[in-house]
Amino acid sequence: MNDDDYTDRLVSGGAESAEEQVIEAALRPKKLDDFVGQDRVREQLSLVLHSALRRGRTPDHVLLSGGPGLGKTTLAMIIAAELGQPLRISSGPAIERAGDLAAILSTLQEGEVLFLDEIHRMARPAEEMLYMAMEDFRVDVVVGKGPGATAIPLDIAPFTLVGATTRAGMLPGPLRDRFGFVAHMDFYAPAELEVIVRRSARLLDVEITDEGAAEVAGRSRGTPRIANRLLRRVRDYAEVRADGVVTEELAKAALRLYEVDERGLDRLDRAVLGALLRKFGGGPVGLSTLAVSVGEEPETVEVVAEPFLVRQGLLARTPRGRIATPAAWAHLGLTPPPTAPLAGTLFDLDEGADPQQ
């Protein structure tokens, strides 16, 4: 499963429809001043862009890291808009060969912005070509095969690369070092998400109370993309089963229907916690065993459910396996048995040895 899939599965049931994509694009802010949250990143990025504009130079390459749905693609679009340049969009998985990257780079115009999403998943030959392109604005195109192969140098127009990654640790050092500005995007505070929900409600022509906005924001897992999707589902509920006004009580009823609880846990999150508590007494249990117990792939549990559960303090990863914290028992309203592990005593252990069985 793609790292970004957990935001797609929440309240949408899978891939977005064309209409959903259009709506989501319309909700994106178009300027840095309109971008809510990430204050330090916005200020730093503003200095990088405006300094380059004053000097009449192409800005340094930009690397944006952080979880899915935090606004990396939106910031890439804003960077191009602030520079007054076109934005070329591609992704790491789409660039399978060095020739694919050379084809993109050779058509860039001077000053153009190239956005590579999931840059950590780029093929190694293309990655090595990108080193030279970022540093010297030149690539070597190999013509022919075997002893008769010839490398032809090809100059490319100065451009700004904006790379986005959900796993910065998977980027090779030589690639990371070629970015002049590296920013890590954090999860959003509830107050920031409330601002985003109210702004999106205005754009969608949805009447929402402050309490309703707070309820949606509080269940959005610190992620603007999820906040906007929950808002759209609550809007649907309000239009069909009420008078169209999103109040606190209506938001609670709608999100209860969509199986998103007060802490933002959805069906899969609660299934993982429930299996860990009811079937394995709170753990420790290996990832593969836990995944089988909920009918999912291990990668799905590890990438989709675990990060949020760990962030909420409901689950801990230890060398002996996954264990539930006391907060997990309390959240599901269960009483831990006397043999339940005390997660707090294991937090200082090395998590590098992560059992799969």
pLDDT in tens, 149-167: 666 778 889 999 999 998 8
* pLDDT recorded at residue 169: 85
Q: Could you list the residues known to form a binding site for DNA, using ranges.
A: 317, 322
Q: How many residues does the chain have?
A: 357
Which residues are known binding-site members for ATP? 27-28, 69, 72-74, 135-137, 178, 188, 225
pLDDT of residue 149: 62
Give pLDDT, residue 140: 75
User: Could you tell me which residues are annotated as the binding site?
Assistant: 27-28, 69, 72-74, 135-137, 178, 188, 225, 317, 322
Q: Which residues have CB under 8 Å from 45's CB, separation 6+?
A: 32, 62, 75, 79, 181, 183
Q: Which residues of 94-122 are buried (b: 16+ CB within 10 A; e: fewer)?
A: bbeebebbbebbeebeebbbbbbbbbbbb
Question: 73: helix, coil or strand?
Answer: helix
The two three-digit tokens of residue 299, written as one number: 């990668």
Please give the pLDDT value at position 354: 46
Q: pLDDT per residue over 160-200, tens digit each?
A: 999 999 888 888 888 999 999 999 999 999 999 999 999 99
pLDDT digits (tens, 9 = 90+) for 218-275: 999 999 999 999 999 999 999 999 988 999 999 999 999 999 999 999 999 999 999 9
pLDDT at 5 over 50: no
Q: How far is CA 306 from CA 93, 228, 277, 282, in A?
A: 24, 22, 15, 15
Query: What pLDDT score does 356 carry?
Result: 44
| pTM given for the model | 0.83
From 27-36, 74-83, 138-147, 231-240, the region with the lowest mean pLDDT:
138-147
Q: Residue 52 and residue 43: Cα distance in Å, rounded?
A: 14
With CA atoms as reference, report the closest residue to 310 among 333, 261, 276, 356: 276
- pLDDT tens digits, residue range 294-345? 999 998 898 888 989 999 999 999 898 999 999 999 999 988 887 777 544 4
Strands 150-155 vs 160-165: parallel, antiparallel or unpaired: unpaired
**Placement of tokens 């076109």 in the chain:** 86
**pLDDT > 50? residue 4:** no
**Does 208 score more than 70 pLDDT?**
yes
Query: Dihedrals φ, ψ of 208, to 5°?
Result: -140, 140
* Average pLDDT, rounded, for the chain: 86
- Taking the C-alpha atoms of residue 50 and residue 91, their distance in angstroms, rounded to an integer, is 27
Is 289 exposed, middle or buried, given 0-12, 13-18 or 19+ CB atoms closer than 10 A? middle
What domains are defined for the chain?
Answer: 38-184 (3.40.50.300), 190-257 (1.10.8.60), 267-345 (1.10.10.10)
Which residues are known to be catalytic?
A: 72-73, 117, 166, 225
Share of the chain above pLDDT 90, in %: 64
Q: Looking at residues 55-69, what average pLDDT do you find?
A: 93
DSSP 271: H
Distance CA 192, CA 38 (A): 9
